Amino acid sequence: MKKLFLCLAMIAATNPIWAQDDKQDEEYELRGNEKYGYIITEKGEKIEGIVKLLGSAESPWVNQKKVKFIAKADIDPAKNRQKLKVMDTDDLQEYVALDGDKERHFRLVKWANTREGLTSGSSKSGIGGALKKAKNLSTTRHMAEVMVNGKISVFRLYGYPAAVAVGKDDVAEMEKETQELRENPTVLVQKGDDKVEAFQADDIKEMVSDCSVVKEKLEGGKYASYDPAKQEKKRSGMGKLIKNEVDRAGMGGTLLTMAEEVFGDYNANCK
């Protein structure tokens, strides 16, 4: 079993999910009012330049492992089109890319996605499901998207789909599970230098307990995303599990809305 897991992990690693993305070889056409993002290298050096996402709404997990970049100093103003380098995010601490006119901020986090690694897939998943589990269990460094930045930071992290599928049933199951990954990212939270953890609504009161302004608003039901009567209702272990799954559904769902509203207010009032 151990040898099988190692074998599957190697196959997953050698079948990168971003290899199918046709944007890797595209040249970038400079704009007259070019806006720059930046990368922060593994050594902590901040370099300004053109940063473009490789992932899309169909493949958001790609942005966690790859990004396209050219340093501002390397841009040839005589050329209208520039060749951007595809970089592994394992070599970076952070990056900010321009997605249209919107800044998208990503930061390196260390976290094991045991939820996708141990509970995803089914008996119908076949080799694709096994590869998906292996990929998620063996990947612990991710460039997660920063949704809230401050003393309490919130991240959105997608699980990784299977790299291959064999057979009609396997392909159909893989497509179903891949869509579930798109719609159900994990919301992560980190307070100060604490360990990055999966965010649950049950954690919120303790996390803001040192900020009287937010604590009082939370208890008084002043946040649209947090209803004390519903969120603080006692539940069984299974009840909590079901609630967490419901809360995270739909691009981070209620959990992400709650985290953005409450922790955003915390960062503004209790720095």
The predicted-structure confidence for 62-90, as pLDDT tens digits, reads as follows 999 999 999 999 999 888 899 999 999 99
**Segment 144-187, tens digit of pLDDT:** 999 999 999 999 999 988 765 556 667 777 788 888 889 889 99
Same domain, 192 and 265: no
185 and 207, same domain (yes or no): no
Say what the pLDDT of residue 27 is.
Answer: 81
What 3-state class would DSSP assign to 61? Answer: helix
Strands 46-53, 102-110: parallel, antiparallel or unpaired by DSSP?
unpaired
State the residue range of the domain holding 169: 1-198
Query: Which pLDDT does position 240 carry in this prediction?
Result: 59
The kind and range of the H/E element at 178 are: helix 168-183
- Residue 201: name the closest of 238, 236, 226 by CA: 226
User: What is the DSSP secondary-structure string of 105-129?
Assistant: EEEEEE---HHHHHH---TT-HHHH
Question: Is-contact 82 101, C-beta < 8 A?
Answer: no
Q: Using the 3D structure, point to which of 169, 198, 227 is the last residue of a domain.
A: 198
Of 198, 218, 247, which residue constitutes the final position of a domain? 198
- Does 185 lie in the same domain as 220? no
Least Cα distance to 94 among 139, 51, 138, 150 occurs for: 51
What pLDDT band is residue 114 in, cutting at 50, 70 and 90? confident
pTM for the whole structure: 0.82
Question: Residues 39, 161: one domain?
Answer: yes
Report yes or no: 51 and 95 within 8 Å, Cβ to Cβ. Answer: yes
Lowest mean per-residue pLDDT among 46-60, 181-195, 236-250: 236-250
Q: Which residue has the tokens 């739909």?
A: 250
* One domain, residues 141 and 97: yes
103 & 228 share domain: no
Amino acid at 31: R
In this structure, the answer to whether residues 189 and 206 fall within a common structural domain is no
Average pLDDT over residues 183-207: 93
- Burial class of 143 by CB neighbour count within 10 A (0 to 12, 13 to 18, 19+): buried
Residues 91 and 218 in one domain: no
The pLDDT of residue 165: 58
**Would you tell me the crossing angle of helices 2-14 and 126-138 to the nearest 10 degrees?**
90
Bigger pLDDT: 178 vs 190 = 190
Same domain? For 53 and 124 the reply is yes
**Residues 86, 44 share a domain:** yes
Q: What is the DSSP letter of 232?
A: T
Task: Verify that 222 and 187 share a domain, yes or no.
Answer: no
What phi and psi values does residue 47 have, to the nearest 5 degrees? -125, 120
Count of structural domains within the chain = 2
Q: What is the pLDDT of residue 6?
A: 45
Question: Residues 124, 224: one domain?
Answer: no
Q: Is 114 exposed, middle or buried (0-12, 13-18, 19+ CB in 10 A)?
A: exposed
- Listed residues 174, 198, 222: the one ending a domain: 198
Q: DSSP 3-state assignment of 66?
A: strand
pLDDT for res 25: 61
Q: Is the pLDDT of residue 215 over 60?
A: yes
